[in-house]
Chains A and B, each alone.
Chain A
Amino acid sequence: MVLQMSGATSTRRAPLLTIYAALVFIFIYLPVVVLILYSFNRDGVGGFPPRHFTLDWYRQLFADTSIWDAVENSLIVAAGSVALALILGLLAALALDRANFPGKALFRRLVLLPLILPGIITGLSLLMFAVFAGAQLSLFTVFLGHGTALISVATTELFAGLQKMDRTQEEASLDLGATPWQTFWCITLPNLKLSLIASGLLIFTLSMDEIAVTFFLIGRDNTLPLEIWGRLRRGITPEINAVSTLIFAVSVGLIVIWYRVRTRGLGAEAQELLERP
């Protein structure tokens, strides 16, 4: 006789639940699948079944300069937002982790608010502020809006990373003669590398997709989501399907990277980000 553990605890059969879970999965994926399918349909969006395969819509998409201008704008804003949010988010995380000051609890809640509040509220309040300050609406105001709203994403993730970090490493560094500044660069930051990358990717994606806040802060130059939005108001063309499919493909690529980065070092903490707005 040999007694061996069977590995994980036996998962029982639950046929009804399995079917239900499968249905939920289908519900989650079906619309996007349909959308991708119809981006190749010659007869446009709608009707069933899709009959003629074509790449025309993609060709049209690639020739569409205003879309690509919008993409460029979005990329600029996103890059800026990542930089702004990461820097301020890192400082905020450090402050929350290490400093005590009056109003700390309030500060913490305030920083996290934009994550849970509907975008319209954040967007409108920033709009009022812009008008109050006499600023012209433009990509710059969009950039400020994104950056501000997304500080919370960086703060949450970096704070979790700091908590997980082995504090004694910093103490050892100081003990060996390094200044706090050197310790920060040589010890603290490298330890936060994974958190920084993961939150950077997330902020980038959220900024690229942002509509609600952008809606109220946009000037003459459109970001990609707003460009698409504008067209949607005018009418549906499968070209929109095509660009959506591309966005989907890029998103999937990014999330795969993001996930690999996260699970490599962070584990459960990263969940907090999306669970606890």
Chain B
Amino acid sequence: MNSSAASSAETASPAGGVLLEVRGVAKNFGARNVLKNIGESGSGKTTLLRLVAGFEQPTAGEIWMSGERLDTLPPYKRRVNTVFQHYALFPHLSVHENVAYGLRVKKTSATEIGGRVDEALRMVKMQEFADSQPSKLSGGQQQRVALARALVNRPLLLLLDEPLSALDANLRKQMQSELKALQRELGITFLFVTHDQEEAMALSDRIALLRNGSLEQVASPREIYAHPATAYTAQFIGQTNLLRGEIIDSTARCGTLQWPSEGPSGPAIFSLRPEAIRFASDDVTPHGTARFRASLEQQFFSGASELLEVNCGGSQLLRVRISARGPLSGEHEFVFSIADAIRVQE
């Protein structure tokens, strides 16, 4: 499990070195992992990528990869390759020459170059474009070439800087599945940067959520969705209802809602996913649930499901996701399993 690419990024603020839990994650990195770096713009996710690639220098701390120190090496000596956000294909070179670039620089033999470039182009389904100029290619095609150009060098780690953000929705979905298949096939660790949380959840084995330059949480998509550590995470990944209130005498009270809770007394925030709430009439759970009454304010139909905005008496509206059942109105009884109310940090 600790075989090839283990990436541990220990970087620090100008104020001083701080060791990060990321280190702990590094130990869990396997050879076939796709790690997603995710966050809003300005969250530092691109910075992290650039630090690993070598285009930025850490002000303090060190970067290690697979037991070797990385930050003292210039980018051209690292076994890391990048797929740039706008592809950065060399306009004066053909597709073939672009892909061959890294090999030529290392003075690889012509025959070997020929073979490996063909292989790389075939992997991304661009072999017929070998002699084309990058300017003649569409966005999606350029991206494949950029991918081939990076992969042909057999890096230990592949960095992808929001590679799909410039593509339209359909193409993006297609590329997502191709990328995932490619990664599985090659077994190289991919470090993806994106702001699209759906993409992150769909593609990755582990997600690292960044916020304002700090790591908020690192976990697998299912884990991060089911057990968000903070309110921010809960809201960023998927949709949620943030219930703010307090725990008094083993009872959690948030507005008009209350349920038994074992946490220590004091202020508390809970994350409750919309799909965790259901109509009391639909509920068959024997115990461990909480009930409440609420009036329907808004209803949004989305094909397979409906999103309801309900007012449970407090100042907040709750969002409830149920399967599609036609227009509704009035007051209803709702339930949710207490276990689904996850306590989160601020």
Contact = CB atoms under 8 A, between A and B. Distances in A.
Q: Do they bind each other? A: yes
B214 A1 contact: yes
A9 B10 CA distance: 21
A5 B50 CA distance: 9
Point out which of A3, A4, A10 has the most chain B C-beta atoms below 10 A from its C-beta: A3
Interface string A1-33: 111111001100000000000000000000000
Point out which of A1, A4, A5, A6 has the most chain B C-beta atoms below 10 A from its C-beta: A1
Contacts of A10: 55-57
Contacts of A2: 12-15, 44, 212-214
B213 A1 contact: yes
B214 A3 contact: yes
Interface in B42-67: 44-48, 50-51, 55-57, 59, 61
B20 to A, nearest CB: 5
A10 to B, nearest CB: 6
Given A1-B214, A9-B55, 9 more contacts: A1-B18, A2-B13, A2-B212, A2-B214, A4-B47, A4-B213, A5-B50, A5-B56, A6-B59
Contacts of B13: 1-2, 4
B210 interface: yes
Contacts of A5: 44, 46-47, 50, 56
A3 B44 contact: yes
B57 A1 contact: no
B11 interface: yes
B215 interface: yes
Interface in B1-60: 10-15, 18, 20, 44-48, 50-51, 55-57, 59
Interface residues of B, number: 25
Contacts of B46: 5
A11 B48 CA distance: 19
B239 to A, nearest CB: 27
Nearest to A12: B74
Contacts of B212: 2
A11 to B, nearest CB: 12
B20 A1 contact: yes
B56 A1 contact: no
A3 B48 contact: yes
B82 to A, nearest CB: 14
B44 A4 contact: yes
Contact of B215 (A1, A4, A6, A9): A1
Nearest to B61: A1
A1 B57 CA distance: 14
7 contacts: A1-B11, A1-B12, A2-B15, A3-B48, A4-B47, A4-B213, A10-B56
Contacts of A1: 10-13, 18, 20, 61, 213-215
A12 to B, nearest CB: 9
A9 to B, nearest CB: 6
Contacts of A3: 11, 44-45, 47-48, 51, 210, 213-214
B21 to A, nearest CB: 10
A141 B66 CA distance: 79
A4 B15 CA distance: 12
A2 B46 CA distance: 13
A4 to B, nearest CB: 6
Contacts of B12: 1-2
A206 to B, nearest CB: 35
B214 to A, nearest CB: 6
A199 B253 CA distance: 73
